[in-house]
């Protein structure tokens, strides 16, 4: 649903900070935002995505953002049109599919902070997303993964690793030596953090 600016101001309920999925070399990492869905349905959706787009993708990281809501992140860098195809084919939130930054629907934001009331800075409406599951692309879901052609945004990976401590969480070791963790064009100083308001609580 798209609403006007003045109407949005009247409806805003929360504010938070999020990270964009864009890199300086115009690539995108895969952000998916699922609302009002079961965890099993999210896993099924990612399985379908891997069958259709697995050649572009590597491991998935799943976060629980609130009750029945999840974030899925794949740190592989893909072209914007590929990301939009993945997004459109997914069963993630319809609002998330249509809203972008600077009128570019391929640039998305996922929050990493709590959602705070827009009217009371001390009132937390939703906690920060919690790291829930790591899906190794080779071991579990994605036999189509081609590590010879993948590039992964080390800027985004390092940012999330700093927040969540991936190495302590992972039960399956990431094959870091097989992936090009590129810093070219997406150095840590180049990732973009956005503050934004939401009319959802």
Q: Chunk the chain into consecutive blocks of 10 residues (it has 201) and report each block's average pLDDT, rounded to whole numbers.
A: 48 78 88 96 93 85 93 92 96 91 86 82 85 69 53 84 75 44 46 63 53
**Which of 108, 111, 149, 112 is CA-nearest to residue 22?**
108
Measured between its terminal Cα atoms, the distance across the chain in Å is 16
Distance CA(30)–CA(39), nearest Å, equals: 18
Tokens linked to 180 = 């090009």
* Domain membership of residue 74 as a residue range: 5-198
Distance CA(98)–CA(94), nearest Å, equals: 7
- Residue 172: φ, ψ to 5°: -115, 125
Return the pLDDT at 182: 45
Return the pLDDT at 194: 66
Structure confidence by residue, pLDDT tens digits, 125-160: 788 999 988 876 654 444 555 555 578 888 888 888
Structural domain tally of the chain? 1
């Amino acid at each position: 649903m798209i609403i006007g600016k003045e109407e949005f101001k009247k409806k805003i309920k929360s504010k938070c900070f999020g990270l964009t999925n864009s890199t300086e070399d115009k690539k995108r990492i895969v952000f998916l935002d699922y609302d009002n869905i079961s965890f099993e349905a999210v896993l099924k959706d990612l399985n379908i995505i891997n069958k259709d787009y697995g050649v572009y993708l590597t491991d998935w990281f799943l976060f629980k953002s609130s009750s029945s809501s999840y974030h899925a992140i794949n740190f592989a860098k893909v072209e914007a049109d590929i990301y939009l195809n993945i997004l459109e084919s997914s069963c993630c939130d319809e609002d998330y599919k249509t809203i972008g930054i600077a009128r570019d629907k391929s640039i998305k934001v996922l929050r990493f902070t709590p959602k705070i009331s827009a009217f009371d800075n001390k009132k937390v409406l939703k906690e920060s997303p919690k790291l829930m599951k790591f899906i190794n692309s080779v071991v579990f879901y994605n036999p189509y993964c081609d590590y010879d052609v993948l590039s992964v945004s080390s800027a985004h990976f390092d940012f999330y690793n700093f927040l969540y401590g991936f190495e302590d969480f992972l039960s399956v070791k990431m094959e870091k030596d097989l992936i090009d963790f590129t810093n070219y064009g997406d150095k840590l100083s180049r990732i973009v953090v956005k503050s934004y308001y939401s009319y959802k609580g």
